[in-house]
Structure formats: C-alpha cells, structure tokens
Structure 1
Amino acid sequence: MVFGVTDVFMRYALNAPSQWIGTTLQAAMVLLACAGGVYALQHDSFVKLDLFYANASSRKQALLDVLTAPFAILFLVILIWKGYVAASLSLMLNQHTPTSIPIPIYPIKFVIPVTGGLVLLVFVKHLIRNLSTLLGRG
C-alpha cells in the first residue's frame, strides 16, 4: 500500500511518475492473488451463493459441490495449460519489463500454473471429501 500511495503522490503531486513501482505492484498483486486463492480454498473461505447452499444439508452441499466440480476442474486445467504456455514463451523470449530497471517477467508468469496446480490438488482433496460424504462415509 505504501508503494501504491507513493506512486500516486509522485505521479500527481510531483508530476514525476515512478518507472518501477507500477510494475512491481502488478507482480505483487499476481502473487497475492495466487497465494490467496490457494489459502482461501484450503480454509473454505470463498464466497458462495448462499441462496441454495447455506440452508442445505451437508449431503446436499456435497452434491452441489460434486455437480459443479467438472467446471472448476476444466477451468483449472486450462489455467495450468495456458499459463504454462505463456510462461514458457515469456522465458523463451526472455521478457523483461519495459522500464529503466528491467525486471524479468517469466518467473511471475510461472507462478500462475504452479499455483493453479496447487489449487487443483486442494480441489481434488475437497472433491474426495464430498464424494465420501455422498457415499455416507464422511
């Protein structure tokens, strides 16, 4: 937050924008979103549509989770696949930020498919737990 406020102050009050703060904040937001997504899924902290879900029994909640699982798995597989393709291309092209301080972009791009894989692992764990609940073993 300090960097963001400093960047805004320098840009508008001093008319001297920073060459690196914006890019650094973008990278930090990607890392924060990736780590936060894994953490939120692991601790069941995502916001859910409680209209149908909140008052349902644990078996009905498990059923709803299992029914929506193919969509989540499809999304995660595409995220991992396309994220890896984009990161590999970035590495091959040796992409850096177009600023006075060239920061490599490819390490940040590789974080996306890696955390997508971690989310997929946590999701599969939750899916197994939901299937166990549906079968009466949980």
Structure 2
Amino acid sequence: MPEIVRRYVRLIDRVNRVVGLFAMYLVVAMIGILLYSSVMKAVAIPPLWTLEMAQFVMAAYYMLGGGWSLQHDSHVRMDLIYANWGPRTRAMVDSVTILFLIFYLCILLYGGFSSTAYALRYGETSYSAWSPYMAPIKIVMCIGVALMLLQAIAQFFRDLALARGEELS
C-alpha cells in the first residue's frame, strides 16, 4: 500500500481511539444526570431537563463510539460461515461488504448535514417542555457519522491490504 494510505489509516485510527475513549466517559455523565434526576424526584420536583439530556448524552455516546467500535471489530456480526474462513478470505469479503457500509454512511451523513443545516437556520427546538435547541446534538451526530465513515474507509484499505497479503497497521 502507498505511504499516504498507511498514514491515513494511522491518523484515523488515532483520532477514533481518542474520540472513542472520550465517548466511554459519557456513560458516567449520563449516570450522573439520571442519578441527579432520581434524587431530585425523591426530594423535590424533578427538573424538566434530565431525561432529555440523558438521551442526548446517550446519543452522543453511541454516535461518537461508532468509529472506535468499527476499529476494534466489536460490532455485531452474523458469522455462520464467516468464522470458518481464513483471514485473507475474510478480508476479501469484508473489502466488498464494507462498500455497502460506506455508501450507507454517505447517505446518512448527507441527511445529517441537511437536518443540521435546518436546525441551525431555523433554531429548531425539541417539542418537550424543556425545549432545548437541537443543533448541538445534530452536530455531534454528524461528527460521529463522519468519524465512522472515515474509519470504514480506513478499514477498507486495511482489508484490501490483507487480501493482497500485506499487513497494514
């Protein structure tokens, strides 16, 4: 593989590793928000913002963790026959099937940009009683999809190299 591809794979792996490790701590933030909500419900009137904020934090958690999950091959897979294949055969099949993921993520990112632009332009808010602006979470979701798309492209290069008998790390 050309050196620029190797650098790209290393850079994207590094970025998704850092973002994924950050995203792991969002679960702690979500637990804190829900704990605060539970305590306030027992003591006084629960705040309006806690449930929706916990949902936003959870959405950020799984969207920002997508690239890390793809990088570490920890997504769900049906491996009825896949587990019996050798590494090069798996890499050949993965290098074809990941193109479908890349296509899907491109469509998802296009829709995300469109939705984010709408939220920014018109000041879109949630329909809840708290009524927060939707643009920040939509921006985070677009970043998460973009990082997963970049990681899918890096994974494509890694699988292509392995199918050719090279090791790309």
TM above 0.5: yes
Q: Structure 1 residue 71: deviation in Å?
A: 1.4
Q: In structure 2, what is the Cα distance between the partners aligned to 1:137 and 1:88? A: 42
2:115 to 70, 86, 100: 86
Q: CA deviation at 1:86?
A: 0.5
Q: Output aligned runs, 1:1-138, within 5 Å.
A: 1-4=31-34, 7=37, 16-98=45-127, 101-138=130-167
- Identity fraction in percent: 29
- Aligned-residue CA RMSD in angstroms? 2.3
Give the Cα–Cα distance (whole angstroms) in 1 for the partners of residues 163 and 94 of structure 2.
10
Q: State the aligned residue count.
A: 137
Q: Relative contact order, CA 8 A, sep 6+: which one is greater? A: 2
Q: Which amino acid aligns with 2:57?
A: A
Cα-to-partner distance string for 1:65-110 (whole Å, 9 max, x where unaligned): 1221221011100110000101110111112345565532101101
Give the unaligned 5+ runs of structure 1: none
Q: Give per-residue Cα distances to partners, 1:109-135, cap 9 Å, x unaligned.
A: 012222211111111111111111212
Aligned-partner Cα distance in 1 for 2:148–2:127:
31
The answer to which of 24-33 and 90-99 deviates more is 90-99
- Give TM-score, length-normalised by structure 2: 0.70
Large movers: runs of 4+ above 3 Å: 5-11, 13-18, 97-102
Compute the TM-score of the two structures, normalised by the length of structure 1: 0.83
Structure 2: 5+ residue runs without aligned partners? 1-30
Letter in 1 for 2:93: L
Amino acid at match of 2:166: R
Is contact 1:23–1:97 with CA below 8 Å preserved after alignment?
Answer: no
Structure 2 CA distance for partners of 1:20 and 1:113, relative to 1, 3 Å: same
Aligned equivalents of 1:87 and 1:52: distance in 2?
A: 41
